[in-house]
Amino acid sequence: MKKGSCLCGKTKYQITGEIGDIVHCHCTTCRKAHGSAFSSVAVVHDADFQLESDLLNSFESSAGKFRYFCSGCGTQIYAKREGSAHIILRLGSMDDHPDAVEKSHIWVSQKASWYTLNQNLPEFSEFETDS
Ligand SMILES: [Zn+2]
Ligand SMILES: [Zn+2]
């Protein structure tokens, strides 16, 4: 079993089954919804996803596709298409390691112009000030 939660802690979930391959989505709606360069997501079957929340809200970002988020803190939790038997989990909300593998970058045609794929940038383990 793997766990996830929102920033304020009032939305929690458990996953009892398999988490699908990880996809990094660069579409404009993901960028807006997450306020970031891209959104990392994976499919989880409905039966394997148990949600506990009093504060979940949703936004229909395209016809029949709803993005669910915690209305207490704004954390994106999952998206779902009407009639589908799975959710599209937002991996940034996970507390545990998903035990899934990265598969692809999608919607690169809508990628942020200021983000470069496969760029070798310096890495710091924590915040790095200009000094
Ligand atoms: Zn929250
Ligand atoms: Zn997207």
pLDDT, tens only, 26-73:
999 999 999 999 999 999 999 999 999 989 999 999 999 999 999 999
As a whole number of angstroms, the distance between CA 114 and CA 71 comes to 29
Give the pLDDT score at 131.
57
The closest ligand to the CA of 40 turns out to be: 2
The closest ligand to the CA of 93 turns out to be: 1
Ligand 1 mean position, distance from CA 8 (Å)? 4
Cα–Cα distances (Å) from 67 to 24, 60, 115, 129, in that order, read 16, 6, 24, 35
As a whole number of angstroms, the distance between CA 44 and CA 48 comes to 7
Biggest distance spanned by C-alpha atoms of the chain: 54
As a whole number of angstroms, the distance between CA 7 and CA 113 comes to 28
| pTM of this structure | 0.92
Ligand 2 mean position, distance from CA 110 (Å)? 9
